[in-house]
Structure 1
């Protein structure tokens, strides 16, 4: 069941409705003085670990028995559907940042975000970015579109056969929606795109997938539809495949104006004094560094304009049981910075391929479930919140790393924390 406050466009265009605007405008965040900060002392000692675990248990009222190592995983039967030839668990160090203050269409409040990484300086950088954002105000986050695609591809003897096939497919779209509903309790077929290249036909089936990330779900639904087509269409293709490698699945593609998963945009205006006190740079230098980095992305032909979004997403995905390979498409972003009329710095990020789930996949394993529960992102109805938190974390990280580069602290930070 769709959220009545949803502003998501289940089609080709970004959309925001009036109910979502009212929700965003009615949010009254806690003051910065009321927010409890993550204890950062003794970063490498047992005492420091206990301080943070006690903070999570007492302040966030969250269970972290598996994360802390007090309990260990032994339910091997629950691995079915997730892995084959199981031998054990790979342990990745997990840290926590926050609070990250968000006013979103799905995520509202202060969030403490778990990140799993072996890269020194990453947690410190993202925590500094969240502090700068928090002391400047609230990150506004809006989800604009939603859709997961599968692109079966068909080859024909010639264009005439292809044209007859397309004509039949176009007349039977409603049947495909019915087949989708019969195959999945959560998938909804929202769009069917057609792309023709000579005697090759690409059909792009676009679905929403509830609170699952949806790759397997849409594959199964599309396979059911394609088999119906092949059994009933009077024109038979020479060859067909369930995926023609054009959906953007686990690849960096220039889909920045479309959507794969969820398209989310976020903004924050950094106060000039906060930039100087927390980020140790100036609004002018930070904006200049963004311009240099943006032109660098263009020079090398990067898909999007961003510096380290993959860092945030990989660390969050590992901690929270997401498909880490989806970092390939999810990290595509467009960032923007400009000095406003008050000489503060406006910062934004838009990410079109945030493919996450709060159910299914690896979300129910013990440490992953604990990490999701830290953010109240486990279970049905929570995937939108997780997507908006992910994008807000990415924005905080972009601010922090560009600040470090603009101030000349990037190398020294990694010499201190990353070696």
Structure 2
């Protein structure tokens, strides 16, 4: 027989049973005209911003979002936002110095992190200092590429096959078309996926020091226009991207390949240093990794890691990256094992780091300042930034797992967040 506790939970889960006919009427569509509208001009202009605030009619919010500093730098946001009303201020802390011994990143880095989550910067800072005290992490960029995947629908499988046969003869033309759209873009590869009477073309690009998503969109659209006009087998319909790219989502395809920049990083830490800085042992950290890896499998996780998203989101916001790309960037594998000498081996591999040091939000005032703080602003630094991201994620994994093993995880949040 169900007990009172079970009945209580049943009540919580049956909220919908208490909805009345009257309350359901609130869900009906309304034909009432909109009371106010904002200006149609989406570009940044002082007079338009003033009119938009008049439409909002919330004077108490205005000085916090449209302060004098924002007004003075308003024009710098022109290519990054529409319907502009101001800026949001977030606290920024630094973790480090984080020593990275990479193919491209070879410095001690102070890493800027923008977040509202207490204990986050403290944790990454602890991990960064631990890595640096151990001599730094080794980091290696393994691969890079950004793709767009247009899709084409045909009447029959025969037509789809005819289109594929033609498309494979057009690779040189596709290369010329795509690379003519940008001085910084290279068509790296073209793959084809045929599913029934649907064809997906997988265009894989190198985008230099830009994250590159707008770049590959423009390039692929140019090819799509060429295909529409010149293909001897006409598609019933086609789309610029048919969701095979893995854009802004965690996918097994990206885990096994690359989207953005694929990086791996490792560190060896003595048992003495683990005990001194994390108050636990390499054995216990390896135990935690084994149990949490099984937990990740049981939960259906794409990859197995602790909390890449915490560090990446904070760094992305601070440094002008596309924050939505954390959905795909925070995918990968963390591994912790016991070395023969009793020391700890720890590594991370991230195949989807969507980062850039030019373009997008990297030129905005605060974000450019943070990239300069890192020493990674401008051309020639995107690969180094990716290796720093891997080192940062490794620092976060070490600190968090150490906290769980020492029983300090809740204590740290209680101390710093309450």
> TM bucket by the smaller chain?
0.7 to 0.9
Greater mean deviation of Cα atoms: 284-293 or 349-358: 284-293
Q: Which structure has the bigger radius of gyration?
A: 2
In structure 1, the residue corresponding to 2:278 is in which secondary structure? coil
Matches of 2:259 and 2:124 in 1, distance apart? 25
Matches of 1:371 and 1:71 in 2, distance apart? 17
Query: Deviation per CA, 1:30-78, whole angstroms, max 9, x where unpaired?
Result: xxxxxxxxxxxxxxxxxxxxxxxxxxxxxxxxxxxxxxx9965623222
1:125-144 residue pairs with structure 2 within 5 A? 125-144=123-142
In structure 2, the residue corresponding to 1:183 is in which secondary structure? coil
Report the Cα offset of residue 81 of structure 1: 2.1
Please state if 1:299 is matched with 2:298: yes
Report the Cα offset of residue 291 of structure 1: 1.1
Query: Deviation per CA, 1:271-324, whole angstroms, max 9, x where unpaired?
Result: 111100101111111111111111111000000111110000000000000000
Query: Deviation per CA, 1:342-364, whole angstroms, max 9, x where unpaired?
Result: 11011110000001010011111
Matches of 2:156 and 2:261 in 1, distance apart? 37
Report the Cα offset of residue 134 of structure 1: 1.2
Please state if 1:251 is matched with 2:249: yes
Higher helix share: 2
Matches of 1:73 and 1:351 in 2, distance apart? 39
What is the aligned partner in structure 2 of residue 45 from structure 1? none
Q: Runs of at least 4 residues of structure 1 off by over 6 A?
A: none
Matches of 1:274 and 1:408 in 2, distance apart? 18
Judged with a 3 Å threshold, the aligned counterparts in structure 2 of structure 1 residues 79 and 72 are, in CA distance, closer, same or farther, namely: closer
Matches of 2:91 and 2:68 in 1, distance apart? 15
Unaligned ranges ≥5, structure 1 = 1-68
Asked whether the 8 Å contact 1:192–1:204 carries over to 2, the reply is yes
1:3-402 residue pairs with structure 2 within 5 A? 74-254=72-252, 255-402=254-401
Matches of 1:71 and 1:89 in 2, distance apart? 10
Asked whether the 8 Å contact 1:131–1:278 carries over to 2, the reply is no
Greater mean deviation of Cα atoms: 326-335 or 77-86: 77-86
Query: Deviation per CA, 1:367-398, whole angstroms, max 9, x where unpaired?
Result: 10110001111101111111111110000000
Unaligned ranges ≥5, structure 2 = 1-66
Asked whether the 8 Å contact 2:306–2:334 carries over to 1, the reply is no
In structure 1, the residue corresponding to 2:72 is in which secondary structure? coil
Aligned length: 351
